[in-house]
Chain A
Amino acid sequence: KAGVTQTPRYLIKTRGQQVTLSCSPISGHRSVSWYQQTPGQGLQFLFEYFSETQRNKGNFPGRFSGRQFSNSRSEMNVSTLELGDSALYLCASRWGTSTDTQYFGPGTRLTVL
């Protein structure tokens, strides 16, 4: 089976812009979660989508949003970018229950100038 894929792998944006990141889960997985990784804060949960519905959300401002399509692919959007949004954004997929293992993609490295 192909693994989790994320596009693009690298992005450079300037403050105030918006950005959309994409994640394609492992075939058959219905849950997609997003995590932000920074040197200062480590890995933090952003949100999870399951069957096109947001099932859980972390403590991030409303500038961070996401959605999931009927084929389970997911996108996350960050509006009005700030310097502090520079991070590695990781997507993980799993079949669906809370005890399933999550499998991670390679991440999208976002740099905000």
Chain B
Amino acid sequence: AQSVTQLDSHVSVSEGTPVLLRCNYSSSYSPSLFWYVQHPNKGLQLLLKYTSAATLVKGINGFEAEFKKSETSFHLTKPSAHMSDAAEYFCVVSDRTNTGKLIFGQGTTLQVKP
């Protein structure tokens, strides 16, 4: 069965410093992995998607993630945090054996301090 674990429920950074949100996955085959972001009272916005092409995936707003099969990780990074990055971030795996339904991690709240 597929699953994702987000290792931090809350991350706090200062504006202009790097962001690292950690995610480990479990999958019996090569997974499709995603990062979505949710701003307060909003729906989910796709940040980036991994589907077994390049292991380093670039997304919107300067975010990127690296797929590491040996570590079963898919951590999200950004070189310099902006106040507008404050939101909740979800690491997600697609269960391709089950019509591609999405399985979500518990989420990481990113706080950006001025």
Q: List A contacts of B102 (CB < 8 A).
A: 33, 35, 43, 45, 92, 102
> Contact: B101 with A56, CB < 8 Å?
yes
> Contact: A48 with B99, CB < 8 Å?
yes
Q: Which A residues from 43 to 78 make CB contacts under 8 A with B? A: 43-45, 48, 50, 55-56, 58
Chain A contact residues, majority secondary structure: strand
Q: Is B98 an interface residue, CB under 8 A from the partner? A: yes
> Contact: A98 with B96, CB < 8 Å?
yes
The number of chain B residues with a CB under 8 A from chain A is 24
> Contact: A99 with B43, CB < 8 Å?
no
- Taken together as a complex, chains A and B put the C-alpha atoms of A2 and B29 apart, in Å, by 34
Assuming the A-B contacts A42-B107, A43-B104, are A56 and B45 also in contact, with contact meaning beta carbons closer than 8 angstroms in the complex?
no
> Contact: B106 with A104, CB < 8 Å?
no
Q: List A contacts of B107 (CB < 8 A).
A: 42-43
- Taken together as a complex, chains A and B put the C-alpha atoms of A107 and B103 apart, in Å, by 18
Closest CB in chain A relative to B3 CB, distance in Å: 12
Assuming the A-B contacts A42-B106, A55-B99, A56-B98, are A101 and B44 also in contact, with contact meaning beta carbons closer than 8 angstroms in the complex?
no
Interface residues of B (CB under 8 A from A): 32, 34, 36, 41-46, 49, 51, 90, 94, 96, 98-107
